[in-house]
Amino acid sequence: MMRKRLILFVLAILLISPLSHTEAATPKAYNDRSLIYLTFDDGPHRQTGALLDVLKKHKVKATFFILGNNIKGNEKMLRRIVAEGHLIALHGMTHDRHKFYRTPTTAVREMQDVQKLVFKVTGVKSNIVRTPYGSDPYMTLAHRRAMTKAGFQMWDWNIDSLDYRYKTDNRRVQNQVFARLDANYKARIASIILTHDHSITPTALDYIIRNAKAKKRGYEFGTLHGLKNPHNFFNKWKPHR
C-alpha cells in the first residue's frame, strides 16, 4: 500500500510540474548561430512607429540605439519602444564624427547626455552604446578606455544591411542581409544586424523576419540585454562550437 501511494505521489508531481521540455532545456549561448539580434540606429524617427508595428506583428524584440538630438518631439515614440519590450541603447547626440570623436571626453560626454535624456523621458538608464559610424577607425585606445571607465558597453555589428545605401531598393537590402546571415550560420556565429530607423522600410523588415523564421535553422530573435561579452570591431565574437 505504501509503495502504491508513493508511485501515485510521484506521478502527481510530474503531472502538475510547470516545467515543459522546452523550458527545462539548456538556454542557447549568446553567440549561438541561430540567434539574431536586430538593431536600429538613429531613432526615434517618424518611421519608427511603422517598424514597431512590424516587430509587434511578429512578436520580435529589438535593440534601438537612440540619437539624442532626435528625442525632442518623439518622446511618445521613445516611451512606446520601452512599453513594447524593446531595449533602449545609446548612439550619442549629434552623429557628427568631428564633434563626437574630437577627444575621448567629448565622446563620453555625448553618451552621458543622451543617457540622461533617455532616462528623463522613459525612466530607463542604459549603458549600452554604439558609436557613430561604428568603433573603427575613430575609437582610439584612449577613447575606448574612457568609454569603459565611464561604465559604457560598446557594441558594433556583424551584418550591415546597407539600408542607408539602398533606401528604395528593398530587394538589395534583403539579399544583403540573407547573404550575411548564411555566412554567419556557416561560420557558427550569432548575427547582429545593423539597420536604421530612417532607412529600413517596414516591407524589408517584414520580409527579413518572416523569411528568417521560415528557414529550418531554429532562428530566434533577441535583444542585447544582459549580454556580458559585447561584440565590437576590437572584440569580435568567436564561433560557437
Nearest to 200, CA basis, from 39, 57, 74? 39
The contacts of residue 67 (CB under 8 Å, 6+ apart) are 41, 42, 43, 91, 92, 93, 95, 114
- The catalytic position among 196, 197, 198, 231 is 196
Give the residue ranges of DSSP H helices in 34-103: 48-58, 75-83, 97-100
Contact 122, 195 (CB under 8 A): no
- The catalytic position among 41, 42, 163, 197 is 41
The contacts of residue 134 (CB under 8 Å, 6+ apart) are 156, 157, 233
41 catalytic? Reply is: yes
Which residues are annotated as catalytic?
41, 196
